[in-house]
Structure 1
Amino acid sequence: NVILQKIPRWLRFRSDYDIFNLSYSRLGYDFGYFLDGYTYHTPLDQLSTFKQGVIQDLGDNLAILIRNILLERNQQINDINDADPLIYFDVLSRYLMIYKLSTSILIQKILIILIIIIGIMRIIFDHIYHRQQNFSCNDLHCIYFRFKYPLIIRIISIIIYSISNILSMIIGLVFSLVLSWILSKTRPTSWHGNSTLAIFLFSLPCLLGFIIFRYLFDLLHRCILRKCFQKSSEYNTKHLNKIHFDFEQNFSVLIIYSLSMIISIYSNSQYVYITLIWSIFICPLYLILIITEFILHWKQIFGKDFHQLYLPLLISFFPLIHTIEIVNRLLRIFIPMVTPLFSFGWILRG
């Protein structure tokens, strides 16, 4: 993986062995196994801590990956030092994906252009469509049916949802950092030796903070609509909650992905390839949802859009799995660097 391979170059140590050899006395048997990396170079590094089949699984996966690399017929492998750097990563430790940085930038530019064009065209056509004299929108959930200034409502809603997405991610990260700080002061090795526990321990607070902040922003959004822009005072909170803002929410998600892709393009770095991995799956799906929603609305076909929820979850399965795999590997790389801080204290105390 291009990210994991470059980490030693960012640090003054080439491996965890250098860290313990230069800075600390090496403890344990120093078995270089991957899946149990939490115990590597610690007093817990003993034969009794081995999980059955760990070394065999590591060898099998590595052999398959090496075979795929050697059987790669194109010459991209030989162009590692080319002016156009390569992006490479494995999928499930078995299949190697390779493409150039210029290809990644081109794909991201195309996605950004499509998002801008389709988003603007959807807003313009939707506004013209609802302003026709011979047309009357019968959708009770439509903002053009409920509000006096629907175009302003749409723009404000997109801005609010976009800000909500950004701040929710920041607040979610803050939740995880707060929990990390609390654990570092109380039980700094409570997650030690269990990668699943470590991932859930820090991802769940992040998800919780994201959901709570999104909910608060949604309440703020409804409050603004209730006070300022309703056609009639007859509409109460119950009616307001029935209004659909699917396009505004979907387009705000695309705006966040566009911003992340712009950052990725201007950084011109192969290390942010994870942005493309998510964008290439999520952005086309949301663009299709936006177009489909407009067509159904134009044909006066109304109904609950359950696909707005389960389709993004289904499509995001692969990038999510890859992201979790990368996070897991990063944890195991940095665990030997963090372990000495606690090895002589908490671990030796039992």
Structure 2
Amino acid sequence: MCYHRGRNDKLAFEHNENRISFFFGLFFILYICLVVSVAYLVENWMPTALTTEDESNNPDRFIAERAQTYLKGLTDLGPRVAGSYENEVLAVNYLESVIQDIIQNSNNVQNIEYDIDVVTGSYYLAYKPYGSINAYANLQNIVVKVNAVSDSANSVLINSHFDTVNRSPGGSDDGINCAVMLEVLRKISQSTERPANHLIFLFNGGEESNIQASHGFITQHKWADNIKVVINLEATGADGKEILFQSGPDQAWLMKYYSKVPYPFGQVAGEEIFKSNIVPSDSDFRIFRDFGGVIGYDFAYFKDGYRYHTKYDGFNNIKIERYQRTGDNILRLVQELANAPEVSGPLENEGGSVYFDVTGLFMVYYSEDVEIIANVLVILLSIGLFLWSLYELQIGYKLVGLRILSLLLGWITSFAVMALVALLLGGINRTMSWYKIPILAIGLYTPIALIFTQLITILFDKLLKKFKLSIHLAKDVLIQLHLVRIFWTIVMIIGAALRIKSVYLFMIPTLFNTFFMFIIHLFKLYYNSTYIWIFIYLIGTFIPTALGGAITYHILTLFIPICGRFGTSLNPELMIGAFVVLLTIFITCYYMPLFSLLSKQVYIILFLGSLFLGTFIVVLTPIGFPYSGDENYLAPQRFPVYHTQRTYRDENNNVIQNDSGFYFRNMDYNSPRSVKDYLYGMENIMPLEENCKKALFCGLPVGYSRDFEELESNSWIPSEAPNFTTALPTLTVDNIELISETIRRYYFTVIGTDCMDLYMSPKKGISFLNISLNNFVPTEQPLWNERPTIYILYVNGKEITPLNFYVDFAVPFEWNSPVVDIAVVGKYIHEDESVYTEEFQNFLNNFPEWTVLTTIALAHYESWIY
């Protein structure tokens, strides 16, 4: 039946020229807040935890209370650094005793073995922008194998690590995952049927040492060859739900089994963020994938990143419901993969998959081929509806062009004003107020996006009237709504062309908007009451708004704590401000054109302006101080501290300089300014720039190769020499072999502490040809005095053994001068604090209560020229 526009319809339409009450604008704002709040509540829901008393009625369920007991036993051991007694003896003994108990109480039908594996090896880890050579000796892995029905079956690997960083008991990173694995192992061991695929549980003892122990396992262990799939369990935070943030690669069938877990939670967008190298972390999944050719799943906790790698990551802050949620999911996933035929079948490159959960209720996943079809279909529908609406509403191209310009200019202005505010806060030393109180980021930057988007629209309204291009208000609002959708449609086209899987974030709102705008046009609801078509429109925005709210929550929850370890080179106000403005636009862009319908729009702008001004004032008060050591509102500023002695030698092996000092890394934008009034000796702080020219890597202990770029921005305070109670590291050249007239091979031996850094840089005119530790020279090398360098991390576990290796240098014919500068740093990471000098203890004690010392160690740097 055709709809014919009549006189009554025309009169009704003309009546719609009247604006609606500005109170409706407040309703829009409240509606958005309500939807986002619902998303927040759903995101924080947890299942009821089961106790041992519940087990009789739930014999096949994961028991959270027992897992909690396992974690208590592990964290009671304290920090477990690779090479320490706590890690190599106490933790290994504890896990072994629990595993033996599980095996002894297993069902008779099961065939379970376990092995304590001691691994030694080396490899190159290609971090961006610079990688490192990793050498390790005597690291320990505890491996349990639940044998399949057939010996020839392939294996599923479940992995977590029991070691920790220097000062942390490792409750979440990664103790809770070890506890979950133990309880999953217990449940699997009591099954009355053996699995079709082998199940291997790896408790690895050297992840924090640059993910080394997993390399030893996957490249050397007798059970590693037939591993097909891995479930890796990690943490970059200490609360919340475990998120699936990596899957594959290129095995879409994996999602079929993960989608069966009771509480799925994962976003392929998280995978693409992680692979972009924005997050300064990595996991064992990388090792299994790159060195073992294994596919699988990578899970991590990411909420409450303030506790990550600190003394606050303990047992007591972990809610028992977290064990239950993770345990239910991992147990079900292991059970599914235990009998999955794909595990024993041939691997084929299926391409990746797009996946995302819907409020944790179920997973949506589809292949890349389906993604292409879905994207193309939604793009065509969106563009088709837009063209139809132009014809239906009789809109000219000039108006469309000016409205597109208005839309883009409003967003660009919002980002520009945000940048000005961020730079102003940086200039007056008031950055990161939202670090402790995240809502301040919303109060600062969300009003900016809303105000300037609307102000630009109002300005363009006046220009349209001046040039007599203005049209009926309802038509104008409708075309603005269409143009918002077309903008994201263009983003979809670009993203799809670049094969970005996260395009679904734009596809979903575009699809919903297209459908509901089609309904409005089909029944010509805009000729009726304004409130009717707006109500229909708002129904269509509910799910996209909830999606945007969840994404906003996840991004800010992840990145705000990360700003505490992002270094000093970037003003974090710019990053967080850009996130908030972008996410505000993403959530509210489908509402903003409706504000043109409001009467007295200035009241809404005044309300938003007052919100911004009030927040800005709070930022300037003590409330806006970024840091807190209060366990209930934890947001500490991080400092790793090394009491370091440095010895430089010339080419004749004579000591030319010997000094000592307190070295600490400035891990965020406010450091060291924030502590200058607290620390002993800060008036003597010395710039490192000159020393960095004199000594390899500034004569400092380096934690990871990612630290190279910011070494000069760290702090050095001269002090008395540290008190070393064990032998200092030594380096010797055992032999120099002439491989040819232009190739010299230097044989080195290094022995010292259980954690050492080695730095090398050939003289000008000399170049690296080969290093025996990985049999190639990395192509991306940091420069020192315009010379390439090599960084080697060497970690010992159960016992300390010398590191023997050789390096081949390309040397000009008849070269008679030294070939290489080389330095060794010994780190004394788990020394008893009683060996610290009184001066060092006083220095540490003066750090304010709102700081946390993530590392406290002694270090000895010594350099030679050979």
Structure 1 stretches of 4+ moved >6 Å: 70-73, 77-81
Aligned counterpart in structure 2 of residue 210 of structure 1, from 448, 453, 464:
453
Distance in 2 separating the partners of 1:276 and 1:7: 18
> How far did 1:195 drift?
3.1
Distance in 1 separating the partners of 2:442 and 2:433: 13
Partner of 2:490: 259
2:595 pairs with 1:328: no
Distance in 2 separating the partners of 1:60 and 1:213: 50
Distance in 2 separating the partners of 1:84 and 1:243: 46
Partner of 2:500: 269
Partner of 2:277: 11
Partner of 1:223: 466
Distance in 2 separating the partners of 1:101 and 1:57: 35
> How far did 1:89 drift?
2.1
Partner of 2:11: none
SS at match of 1:211: helix
Partner of 1:172: 414
Query: What are the Cα deviations for residues 176-203 of structure 1, in whole angstroms up to 9, with x where unaligned?
Result: 3333333333311311133333344332
> How far did 1:17 drift?
9.6
Listed as ranges, the matches of 1:118-197 within 5 Å are 118-124=385-391, 126=392, 151=394, 154-185=396-427, 186-197=429-440
Partner of 1:237: none
**TM-score normalised per structure 2:** 0.29
User: Would the aligned equivalents of 1:3 and 1:271 in 2 still touch at CA under 8 Å?
Assistant: yes
Quick check: 158-167 or 336-345, which moved more? 336-345
Query: What are the Cα deviations for residues 156-191 of structure 1, in whole angstroms up to 9, with x where unaligned?
Result: 222222222222222223333333333333311311
Partner of 2:368: 101
User: Would the aligned equivalents of 1:199 and 1:328 in 2 still touch at CA under 8 Å?
Assistant: no
Which structure ranks higher in relative contact order (CA pairs < 8 Å, sequence separation ≥ 6)?
1
Quick check: 34-43 or 324-333, which moved more? 34-43
Partner of 2:304: 36
User: Would the aligned equivalents of 2:355 and 2:364 in 1 still touch at CA under 8 Å?
Assistant: yes
Distance 1:251 1:338, change over 3 A: closer
Distance 1:100 1:8, change over 3 A: same
> How far did 1:251 drift?
2.9
Choose between structure 1 and 2: higher strand proportion.
2
| CA RMSD between the two structures | 4.0
SS at match of 2:374: helix
Aligned counterpart in structure 1 of residue 529 of structure 2, from 299, 304, 307:
304
Distance in 2 separating the partners of 1:107 and 1:242: 34
Distance in 1 separating the partners of 2:410 and 2:449: 9
**TM-score normalised per structure 1:** 0.66
2:513 pairs with 1:282: yes
Query: What are the Cα deviations for residues 11-50 of structure 1, in whole angstroms up to 9, with x where unaligned?
Result: 29762899xxxxxxxxxxxxx974432454568x487xx9
SS at match of 2:434: coil
Letter in 1 for 2:377: I
Distance in 1 separating the partners of 2:276 and 2:422: 24
> How far did 1:88 drift?
1.5
Partner of 2:228: none
Larger radius of gyration: 2
Distance in 1 separating the partners of 2:502 and 2:406: 27
SS at match of 2:357: strand
> How far did 1:270 drift?
0.9
SS at match of 1:99: strand
SS at match of 1:245: helix
Letter in 2 for 1:289: I
The answer for unaligned runs of 5 or more in structure 2 is 1-266, 285-299, 565-666, 676-846, 851-866
Partner of 1:27: none
User: Would the aligned equivalents of 1:174 and 1:206 in 2 still touch at CA under 8 Å?
Assistant: no
User: Would the aligned equivalents of 2:496 and 2:503 in 1 still touch at CA under 8 Å?
Assistant: no
Distance in 2 separating the partners of 1:220 and 1:246: 16
Distance in 1 separating the partners of 2:439 and 2:454: 22
Distance in 2 separating the partners of 1:164 and 1:66: 50
User: Would the aligned equivalents of 1:168 and 1:213 in 2 still touch at CA under 8 Å?
Assistant: yes
Distance in 1 separating the partners of 2:549 and 2:497: 26
SS at match of 2:356: strand
> How far did 1:243 drift?
6.8
Letter in 2 for 1:276: M
Distance in 1 separating the partners of 2:384 and 2:492: 16
> How far did 1:4 drift?
1.9
Distance in 2 separating the partners of 1:183 and 1:282: 38
User: Would the aligned equivalents of 1:158 and 1:251 in 2 still touch at CA under 8 Å?
Assistant: no
Aligned residues: 288
Letter in 2 for 1:37: G
Partner of 2:358: 91
SS at match of 1:328: helix
Partner of 1:346: 674
User: Would the aligned equivalents of 2:438 and 2:560 in 1 still touch at CA under 8 Å?
Assistant: no
Choose between structure 1 and 2: higher helix proportion.
1
Query: What are the Cα deviations for residues 205-258 of structure 1, in whole angstroms up to 9, with x where unaligned?
Result: 2222222222222222222226xx9xxxxxxxxxx7767434423332332232
Distance in 2 separating the partners of 1:184 and 1:313: 39
Distance in 2 separating the partners of 1:283 and 1:205: 28
Partner of 1:235: none
Distance in 2 separating the partners of 1:225 and 1:65: 62
User: Would the aligned equivalents of 2:381 and 2:514 in 1 still touch at CA under 8 Å?
Assistant: no
Distance in 2 separating the partners of 1:166 and 1:108: 23
> How far did 1:86 drift?
0.9
Partner of 1:134: none
Quick check: 329-338 or 108-117, which moved more? 329-338
Distance in 2 separating the partners of 1:80 and 1:290: 49
Distance in 1 separating the partners of 2:385 and 2:424: 46
Distance in 2 separating the partners of 1:111 and 1:183: 42
- Percent pairwise identity: 22
User: Would the aligned equivalents of 1:69 and 1:96 in 2 still touch at CA under 8 Å?
Assistant: no
User: Would the aligned equivalents of 2:356 and 2:363 in 1 still touch at CA under 8 Å?
Assistant: yes
SS at match of 1:306: helix
Distance in 2 separating the partners of 1:320 and 1:161: 23
Distance in 2 separating the partners of 1:222 and 1:72: 65
SS at match of 2:380: helix
Distance in 2 separating the partners of 1:307 and 1:72: 49
Distance 1:17 1:260, change over 3 A: closer
Distance in 1 separating the partners of 2:433 and 2:507: 34
Letter in 1 for 2:455: I
Aligned counterpart in structure 2 of residue 198 of structure 1, from 427, 441, 447:
441
Distance in 2 separating the partners of 1:171 and 1:333: 27
Distance 1:163 1:310, change over 3 A: farther
Letter in 2 for 1:285: F
Distance 1:247 1:265, change over 3 A: same
Distance 1:318 1:116, change over 3 A: closer
User: Would the aligned equivalents of 2:414 and 2:448 in 1 still touch at CA under 8 Å?
Assistant: yes
Query: What are the Cα deviations for residues 53-83 of structure 1, in whole angstroms up to 9, with x where unaligned?
Result: 763454454446546766889x9x9899845
Query: What are the Cα deviations for residues 287-331 of structure 1, in whole angstroms up to 9, with x where unaligned?
Result: 2222222xx68xxxx433224444444432322333333333333
Distance 1:266 1:81, change over 3 A: farther
Distance in 2 separating the partners of 1:320 and 1:80: 39
Letter in 1 for 2:305: G
Quick check: 208-217 or 177-186, which moved more? 177-186
Distance 1:61 1:307, change over 3 A: farther
Distance 1:312 1:105, change over 3 A: farther
